[in-house]
Structures are given as structure tokens and as C-alpha cells.
């Protein structure tokens, strides 16, 4: 149920709407909708079709394994961070070389 709730929450975020708006459209309370997103309540097939229709996605989009897409996002973020780290390390090496050069230049002037 948590994967389904996670997927529903992601769909809601894509639309940039809050839980109150979705719960109104589904004609349920905000706490009831919140429980769907958090996976604390089981969702019946009728409600599943209603949610899929609301977000205009196939039911399979809601039922897919949310961890795989979360892992893909994390993997992409890790790659971006690795690239940023590599860039910073290169900058540090350049600055270190410059510092050594300046130190040696200063020593030569003495």
C-alpha cells in the first residue's frame, strides 16, 4: 500500500495541488485521503479507478513499484553530486598548486 500511496502523492505533486483539493474532488475527508497517500488505509478498486481518472493516468501508473522510480531519482542525484564533487576537487587541486607556486615565489624573493 505504501508504494501506491507514494505514487499517488507523486502524481498530486506533479499537478501542484494540495491534499484538500484532491480530497474535495474525490468527495472524501482530508484525513481519509492522507491515509491513502501514507499507505495507512487499503484502497479499493473503485477508489483506485477514481484516482486514476482524476490524475488522468492508467491504473498501472499508480500500481507500479514506487521504490524503483525513487531509486532512479536517487541514482540521478548521486551522479549529479559526484560530478559536483569532481569539479570541486579539481578546483582544490588548482588552488593548491597556485598556493604552492605563490609560496615558492615568496621564498625566492627573500
Residue-level pLDDT at 68: 55
Residue-level pLDDT at 8: 94
pTM: 0.58
Residue-level pLDDT at 109: 85
| Ramachandran sector of residue 57 (left: φ over 0; alpha: ψ -120 to 50; beta: rest) | beta
Residue-level pLDDT at 20: 96
Residue-level pLDDT at 65: 79
Collect the ranges in the chain with pLDDT lower than 70. Answer: 1, 66-73
Residue-level pLDDT at 80: 86
User: How many other C-beta atoms can be found within 10 angstroms of the C-beta atom of residue 21?
Assistant: 14
Residue-level pLDDT at 67: 55
Residue-level pLDDT at 101: 93
Amino acid at each position: 500500500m505504501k508504494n501506491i500511496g507514494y505514487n499517488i502523492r507523486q502524481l498530486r505533486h506533479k499537478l501542484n495541488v494540495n491534499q484538500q483539493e484532491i480530497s474535495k474532488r474525490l468527495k472524501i475527508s482530508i484525513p481519509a485521503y492522507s491515509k491513502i497517500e501514507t499507505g495507512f488505509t487499503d484502497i479499493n478498486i473503485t477508489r483506485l479507478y477514481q484516482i486514476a481518472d482524476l490524475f488522468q493516468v492508467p491504473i498501472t501508473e499508480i500500481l507500479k513499484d514506487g521504490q524503483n522510480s525513487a531509486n532512479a531519482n536517487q541514482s540521478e542525484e548521486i551522479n549529479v553530486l559526484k560530478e559536483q564533487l569532481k569539479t570541486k576537487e579539481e578546483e582544490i587541486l588548482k588552488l593548491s598548486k597556485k598556493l604552492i607556486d605563490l609560496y615558492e615565489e615568496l621564498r625566492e624573493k627573500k
